[in-house]
Structures are given as structure tokens and as C-alpha cells.
Amino acid sequence: NKAISDWYEPGSVFKLITAAAALDTGCCRPTDRFTCAGKISVAGTRFRCANGHIHGSETFAKGLAVSCNPCFIQIGARLGKERFCNYFAAFGLREPTGIDLPGEIRRSEYYTADRMGPVELASCSFGQSSKVSYLQMLTAVCAVVNGGKLMQPYLVSKIRAPDGQVIKEVEPVVKRQVISEETSATMCRLMEGVVTSGTGKQAAVAGYRVGGKSGTSQKLDSANEGARIASFVSVAPIDDPKIAVLVCLDEPHSWTTSGGALSGPVCAEVLKKALPYLGVEPEN
């Protein structure tokens, strides 16, 4: 079960975690401005923005919407390695989720603060150089939009006897409060901006308010330098979240490797069918 047994580098979907941590600590505000010159040098290592974009002067909110790497390297530097690592752990990315399924990996791959230099912090800030499971990533994103509460994921909610009697019922469990409710509400607004005016336009669903984040991560341990994972995470309705969907395409063979272009439309199809099933009807 790849969702719980495999590691992957989440790429720019992870920017949601960096953004939430930066806002929650108060080291950044949505209106703070950053500069993207298309590339940025950190301790002698050059990082470039995805697809060679040069965004110029941009706000924190715009940097998330257009998924700007130099912007998030600067945000990560403001946050600092100690706080970055503390939030990485608080979002549950160092531990198994504990879901009621066999075969979940028992650990993830990450830098601790004592092993993290400025280059590692820069890379981790936009979702490279760490490896987590797909379910760990989705559970963390749920905490971002769920009022800051990290939940215990589970598969089976209720077990009944043949006569219909309930033998066991699983109640939702809050593991911990990771970010404030105010930070979570701000992140929901920013994630909606990704879909309305950023890299997630193809994840929009008519009649629904959708929030999301695209990702295109490089598989750093692959012999193929062009190997990518195209991903997108969608949450809807973003003003009252009911469902979260993470779609990851492992080494897609297509005209692009962009998560917004390839995985975004898949998320939209899932939401389009799932939301009415859950009783959430579209608005005009």
C-alpha cells in the first residue's frame, strides 16, 4: 500500500507546512514582501525557481500561490532551523500515523536541527531533502486546515455484529494542537488563492470553494535526473473543510511534470464526485 509503505519527497505541497509554521511563529505575515530573481544562492549553493520563473517582488501570499522556491527559501531562513524542525515534528512527520492498517513505515527521513546547515534548511523549506509517507503528508495538511488540530487517521469507524449491534465504534482523536485557529484560517484563505489565481487553477470545481497546493518534486535518489513526482492536494469546501485529497503521479510520462497541470484535474474529478455523495451540494 504505497500510501503508507513508501517514502517520497513531497516537493512544493510541503510549502504549506513551512508557510503555516512561519505565520504561526509570527516571523512572517501574508503581506510581507520577498524578491525572486529566478535563482538564489545559499552558502555557495544555487537554487532556482521552478521552470525558470522570475517573479520579482511578491508577497508571501503570492509566493505560495505561484509556488516560488526563492521566496520559500527566504521564509525558511526567517523561520530558522530550530523552529522549522520543531514544527516538522509537531505536524507528525517524524512518526508513523498509527492508522489501523498493516505495513506502515515506522519512520521518515529528515534532518534534525543539529545536522541541518543553511543549504539543508533551504532545500527542506520548499519540500526537498526530506522523505515522508503520502498519508503523513496528507494528515499534516489536514492539520493545517482543521483549525490546527492534528488528528489520528483511521480506516474503520464502526464494527457491527450480524444483528446490527455495534461492537466497536472509533471516535475522532485529536493528537495535539499544532498551529493556532487563526493561523489555520489564514492558511485556508491562502490555499484558496492557489486555486483561484495560482498554480492550482486546474483543480477548481464549479460551485465549490476549493483550496490546494501543487507539487513537482525531484526524486533525488533516482538514477534518472529527470524523474519527478507530480502531486496536488485539494481541500473542499475550503471555508468548511469536509474532504482532503492528495494525488501523486510517480514519474509521469506526459507533456509536463507539473503537479498543478497533471494531478490538479484528477483532484477536481474526485471532489466533483465525492462532495455531493457527502451531502455537500454546489452553490451557484
pTM of the complete model? 0.96
pLDDT tens digits along 44-88: 999 999 877 899 999 999 999 999 999 999 999 999 999 999 999
CA–CA dist 269, 28 (Å, integer): 34
Higher pLDDT, 255 or 267: 267
Q: For the CA atoms of the chain, what is the radius of gyration?
A: 19
pLDDT of res. 119: 97
Q: What pLDDT is attached to residue 52? A: 79
- Residue 13 and residue 127 in contact, taking contact as beta carbons nearer than 8 Å: yes
Maximum separation of any 2 CA atoms in the chain, in Å: 69
Q: Which amino acid is at 7?
A: W
Residues 264-278 pLDDT 10s: 999 999 999 999 999
Position 145 pLDDT exceeds 80: yes
pLDDT tens figures, 224-250? 888 899 999 999 999 999 999 999 999
Where in the sequence numbering do the catalytic residues fall? 12
Residue 284 has pLDDT above 80, yes or no: no
